[in-house]
Chain A
């Protein structure tokens, strides 16, 4: 434990590193698609969305409410979904979580997890509806993807907490 940093009266505090690390980690999550694997079916969870929700649930002030707009745009550029889909759906999730924050004031982790699972399910199902025709046989893979992503959410929050640890240490 290092002693708390001395901040003179009127001086500005050092910004927590979450302010730049949070968007960066979401971008890195989105860029998982540049791994050299040629997929013939959907098998990876959307890591960008997982990190975004992880940060939102772990630390609501890490990102501004408009942050999912540029982050979603970048995700659309590399994910293969039609451009604009993550921009729209991720932002809708953020706004919905903001509304929920005023309704469910005291929450524990299980409720956070349930909300995140709902957000993941919404984004993936909406993304499937706009990207692939209804007749496509992608629903089984999509269901597995949703379950896997929801199951990975606690890991994402742990990772966010680890990345955020500079605040706790001092």
Chain B
């Protein structure tokens, strides 16, 4: 194709002005885009309303597609289950027998724990689930890690609430609209979660790397040494994430900053639980740009 050397579209004034106004519109639009970009860099929640409106339109489609996907993904499992029922039954019966003593001991411990807590007069932690919903879509073309949850303010989801699944922490709600909300995943490069090591209670911060993994930094000491296989759970510091939710497992031995694999897989075809913030006080009105987790000094 050979574009004309002369950009003038002919002798028609109307066509000439049209072309000129087109360029005016393009350059004006680019400038508006630049201004919006500056605004959204300094105040990320600024466009929550507009995004929420769009999410209201697209989320039902995502939810339906996810439903279809689950239906198909469940077929192989259902087939193999059908043939394995007999063996599975035997195995589970045996497991119940072996677990009975463990369960009894756990019950006793639980009771004792409750009694001791009452003696100490500790405040009851609110770790109740607000709603069980599904993560239905995310941002696979972007370098940021958000997901859309198909429950919103009508289902009592509010900004700042932690989101988890059975295996561990997924992230926290940063924007809500009526029936949808946006979740900042813990693997996002601007998320950080206060954690502690299960083995010895070592406080640390789990920061997202942006490539699906986490970086765990020691929060107090230097040269602590992380061992591959160390499990980190939320510490409850900062009052946002309830304590003892699995967050990450260290992948490689390291001294100060260790690479870790998140404990939960948000793409698992399962429910996500939205929890109340750990302490009942409301989360900060405007989280730091990008929605960083509160970085209170660990105890």
Q: Name A residues whose Cβ lies closer than 8 Å to a Cβ of B.
A: 31-47, 60, 64-66, 68-70, 72-73, 77-88, 91-92, 94-95, 101-102, 105-107, 127-128, 130-133, 135-138, 140-142, 145
Contacts and interface: CB of A to CB of B under 8 A. Distances in A.
B260 interface: no
Given A38-B266, A82-B37, A82-B40, A65 B141 contact: no
A137 B211 contact: yes
Given A38-B135, A69-B29, A131-B143, A137 B47 contact: no
Contacts of A78: 54, 58
Interface of B: 1-3, 5, 7, 22-23, 25-27, 29-30, 32-41, 44, 46-47, 50-51, 54, 58-59, 61-63, 65-66, 69, 135-147, 185, 187, 189-190, 208-213, 262, 265-267, 290
A88 B59 CA distance: 26
B210 A35 contact: no
A76 to B, nearest CB: 8
Given A88-B30, A141-B211, A35 B189 contact: no
Contact of A138 (B7, B189, B262): B189
A115 to B, nearest CB: 13
Q: Which 6 A-B pairs have the closest CB atoms?
A: A80-B139, A69-B29, A87-B33, A84-B36, A136-B189, A84-B37
B62 A35 contact: yes
Contact of B26 (A38, A41, A66, A80): A66
A33 B141 contact: yes
A132 B189 contact: yes
29 contacts: A33-B138, A34-B59, A38-B138, A38-B266, A40-B187, A41-B187, A41-B210, A42-B140, A42-B141, A44-B140, A64-B25, A65-B26, A66-B29, A77-B50, A80-B145, A80-B146, A81-B144, A82-B37, A83-B39, A83-B46, A84-B38, A84-B40, A86-B33, A87-B37, A88-B34, A102-B7, A106-B2, A128-B143, A138-B189
Contacts, number: 200
Given A33-B140, A91-B27, A131-B142, 12 more contacts: A32-B140, A36-B63, A38-B137, A64-B25, A83-B46, A84-B32, A94-B26, A106-B2, A131-B143, A133-B290, A137-B189, A137-B210
B26 A69 contact: yes
Contact of B47 (A42, A80, A83): A83
B231 to A, nearest CB: 19
A40 B145 contact: yes
B93 to A, nearest CB: 36
Contact of B3 (A72, A102, A135): A102
